Amino acid sequence: MSEAKPHRKRDIFVERAIQPSFISDSISKHATRYDIGAHEIFLGQVRADVIDGRSVAAIEYTAYADMANEQITAIREEAFARWPQMTCLHVHHSLGVIKAGELCFFVFASASHRQQAREAVAYVTDEVKKRLPIFGKEIFVEGGHVWKANL
């Protein structure tokens, strides 16, 4: 049995909100893959939370991009090792000011069967939140900001 080749390092960051058309394009690109039986998607959206009586209008995301991209490469390798039936795994995260209601985080996995895709997306989503140096500054409608806790 030969060892799996490591996947290439990718830049997961986009300088804007993630557009729904990008998501649909990502899905449609897999239509020619006949070894895929399931896709699973996680979408993170900016909420208009109320914190101490102030409403969140947007989140400004910043990151240590090089460190984050190195870490996501390791997370991806872990996921492919845990779920070898997985055929594709894509992760994208926004940078910059993302308004409430806009999408900021996209995890997309494809596999021969649904369970592997579901488990991989849940794992990757949780690991990104735990391990990647991505920071969110919640900007209030009323002015001011607070740094977001990664929960």
pLDDT, tens only, 16-58: 999 999 999 999 999 888 899 999 999 999 999 999 999 999 9
Question: What angle is formed at CA 41 by the lines to CA 147 and CA 62, rounded to 5 degrees?
Answer: 25
Tokens standing for 150? 């990664």
pLDDT, tens only, 74-115: 999 999 999 999 999 999 999 999 999 999 999 999 999 999
Q: What CA–CA distance (Å, rounded) separates 54 from 51? A: 5
* H-helix segments, the chain: 20-28, 65-82, 114-131
State the sign of the Cα–Cα–Cα–Cα dihedral 109, 115, 120, 123.
positive
Tokens standing for 120? 């991989």
Domains of the chain with bracketed CATH: 17-147 (3.90.1170.40)
pLDDT, tens only, 128-150: 999 999 999 999 999 999 998 76
Q: What CA–CA distance (Å, rounded) separates 129 from 135? A: 10
